Chain A
Amino acid sequence: MDRRTFLQTATAASLLGVARPSHAATLIDEIKSRGVLRAGLSTFVPWAMRDKTGALIGYELDVGKRLGADLGVKYEPMPTAWDGIIPALLAGQFDVIIGGMTVTPKRLESVDFTEAYSFTGVAMVASKKVAPGLSTIEAFNRPDITIVVRRGTAAVTVAQQILPNATLRQFDDDAQALQELKNANAAAWITSTPKPAFAAIDNPDTLYLPFDKIIAPQRDAMAVRKGETATLAVLNEWIAARKADGFLQDRFHFWFEQRSWLSQVQA
């Protein structure tokens, strides 16, 4: 039982006794009457991050602001630690998770997901020093290959399924995983696009992309508490409309496929 599952079970147990307020009014009505959409997110470049003035920017922020504007309410991002984001949603700390959360069967047990609203996948970047010249995913499936991942992400599941023989090491955040790779203590880092590509661009001397394609496509969606069918329908309708008019594609291109925003984050 990993730490995440344990904490979630513990929290679920602590919440069992909670008499949730009856859902006479649906969540979406509540959001509208409150005039504020509270959305949970976690720092994850370029989904959500801090710019030099300390303000939050990123794909999720653009999505959230537009969603708020279209619903006629104020969008309020709630920065949350990734490990506790689902329990926080269940405890009612915010209305919805708009934070690049990948749909997994495990998560589906505790929350409901909308349709996907981004176009990402899981990819790999490798160390030139530790694992030079490899060009297929199969080449990494060896016990002497160490793969680093961020704990609790979809990359963990993908790595376990596709590279069962490789040694897996988990870190609390991406910065630590990347540092371990740069320190030549690991052969490769598996994480969501676009980070592998960005990492290879930033460190041309030490890192390279072994193959160009993503290992597994990813379905990133907004999450709400179970049983909020009316709210889910509104969100799905919004996602479909914003895909149709190209808003989501445009924002995705801005944050994931080029980096003109980098000067807002780094000196």
Chain B
Amino acid sequence: MLVVLAGFAAFIAYRVQAVLNYRWSWAPIPNYLLRWDPERGWVINLLLQGLLTTLRLSLWSMLLAACFGTVIGVLRSSVQLLPRLIGGTYVELMRNTPPLVLIFVGYFFVSSQIMPLLGIDAMLRNTSPAMRAAIELGFGDPRLLKNFLSAAIVLALFEGAYIAEILRAGIASVERGQWDAAAALGLSRWRGLRLVVLPQALTRMVPPLCGQVISLIKDSAVVSLISIQDLTFMANDVAVSSNLVFETWLTASAMYFVVCLALSLGFHRLERRLDR
């Protein structure tokens, strides 16, 4: 199988070389990952900075999306009509609009309406150096914090709809008898959900949730349009500036691939442990 794949890759590479009039030059690429600074030693350069931003953004928007998704998913599973309608509207609205438009409109709405209310600027001015360092570690350059948070919120709103659906499907997959058993034990519907149904639903939700994390990392590339300096944004900058179009984009793709593959393998082990 591997031999066949390698042969196929070699064939594609040969065809690309034959069709493209392109001078390959991989030598400058490592410099865009790590570079030697005479004063500070080895420092990360644009592409790794971009990857860090992508990872930070994915982490925070995943946590936020989990919160949104849980609330909406529980609303979607309610027996009452109104919560179901609210949840349903949200999910359908988010899932049936192009992410690009959502990100674009949502971002400018969040950054011009919600961000001023949070008073980030004033907070940043009054923080201690230690706090600033912590912010820098968690969110990247404090000067771009507002942009970063807006993007994380918008991505989370979008991904939250999918998580809500996974949660609803998980709850729906638990047999009717479990609800009846919970009711028979005198548990209210809410306690029955929390103590009996959710624990069973959660194990069934793990595989689709893992898939969602991986697709979030790849979806996060759309934020490059709203000037978050993630891996895609940086790769574009490097490609345009250095004229190494294919080398840069292939490197960026490989970076996405490595991260997603590592997560995928990690989740696989997690699933196996949960199955036992």
Contact = CB atoms under 8 A, between A and B. Distances in A.
Interface string B204-242: 000000000000000000001111010001001111111
Contacts of B28: 52, 266-267
Interface in A112-157: none
Contact of B241 (A80, A206, A265): A265
Given A11-B104, A267-B28, A84 B240 contact: no
A179 B22 contact: yes
A182 B21 contact: yes
A52 B45 CA distance: 9
Given A10-B104, A14-B108, A50-B237, A81 B224 contact: yes
B27 interface: yes
Interface in A22-47: 43-45
Interface string A40-78: 000111000111111000000000000000000000101
Given A81-B226, A179-B245, A267 B27 contact: yes
B46 to A, nearest CB: 4
Interface string A79-119: 11101100110011100000000000000000000000000
Contacts of A53: 35, 37, 45
A93 B147 contact: yes
A176 interface: yes
B59 to A, nearest CB: 23
A14 B49 contact: no
B31 A52 contact: yes
Interface in A163-219: 173-176, 178-179, 182-184, 206
Given A43-B237, A49-B240, A79 B227 contact: yes
Interface size class of B (residues with CB under 8 A): 35 or more
A119 to B, nearest CB: 22
B240 A91 contact: no
Nearest to B227: A80
A1 interface: no
Secondary structure class of chain B's binding surface, majority of residues: helix
Nearest to B47: A54
B52 to A, nearest CB: 13
B251 interface: no
B108 A83 contact: no
B184 interface: no
B238 A50 contact: yes
Contacts of A78: 227
B243 interface: yes
Nearest to B232: A81
Contact of B236 (A43, A52, A92): A43
Contact of A266 (B46, B49, B105, B242): B242
Contact of B225 (A84, A175, A184): A84
B101 interface: yes
Contacts of B109: 14
B113 A175 contact: no
B40 to A, nearest CB: 11
A162 interface: no
Contact of B111 (A43, A91, A178, A184): A91
Contact of A18 (B25, B45, B101, B112): B112
Contacts of A265: 241-242
Contacts of A176: 245
Given A18-B112, A45-B241, A265-B242, A54 B236 contact: no
B20 interface: yes
B6 interface: no
B227 A175 contact: no
Contacts of A80: 227
B130 interface: no
A88 B223 CA distance: 13
B229 A79 contact: yes
B35 A52 contact: yes
A93 B111 contact: yes
B108 A87 contact: yes
A233 interface: no
A15 interface: yes
B227 A182 contact: no
24 contacts: A10-B101, A10-B105, A11-B104, A11-B105, A18-B112, A45-B240, A45-B241, A49-B237, A49-B240, A50-B237, A50-B242, A54-B32, A81-B224, A81-B233, A84-B226, A87-B104, A91-B112, A173-B240, A175-B240, A176-B245, A183-B20, A265-B242, A266-B243, A267-B25
Given A11-B105, A93-B227, 13 more contacts: A11-B108, A15-B108, A18-B112, A18-B113, A52-B31, A53-B37, A53-B45, A79-B227, A79-B233, A81-B233, A84-B226, A87-B104, A88-B226
